[in-house]
Amino acid sequence: MNQSTEIEVKNLDHLGLVAGIIDEIGIVEIINEQVSIERGEIVTAGQVVKAIILNGLGFVSGSLYLFPQFFEDKASEHLLAEGIEGRGHRTQTPE
């Protein structure tokens, strides 16, 4: 029985603590209650704000257009929400 399991390591740094505090406060839910969620949205407005906060606290020397690259080596599903990968997903599906 020689089973090979592929393990992928992702970086959390201090952002895990920040994401936990954001979840504890309920910022994502508060924003989502105030902003309507459109049909077909993949990422909610609250999740976008959470990502911007995490980006601002972890990538201070990078330009905003590098935003997707910031999340490439991060455990985005743990920091943001299940199903969200660090690939710069669109907030809405194209029509």
pLDDT above 70: residue 92? no
The answer to whether position 10 is within a domain reads: no
Partners of residue 11 on adjacent β-strands: 74
Percentage of residues of the chain with pLDDT beyond 70:
63
The answer to whether position 7 is within a domain reads: no
Alpha-carbon dihedral 16, 19, 24, 27, rounded to 10 degrees: 180
The answer to whether position 69 is within a domain reads: yes
The answer to whether position 86 is within a domain reads: no
The whole model's pTM is what? Answer: 0.62
Cα dihedral sign, 58-59-65-70: negative
The answer to whether position 85 is within a domain reads: no
Q: Which band of pLDDT confidence, cut at 50, 70 and 90, is reported for residue 5?
A: confident
Q: Which band of pLDDT confidence, cut at 50, 70 and 90, is reported for residue 55?
A: confident
Report how many domains make up the chain. 1
Q: Which residues span the domain enclosing 19?
A: 15-79
The answer to whether position 58 is within a domain reads: yes
The answer to whether position 8 is within a domain reads: no
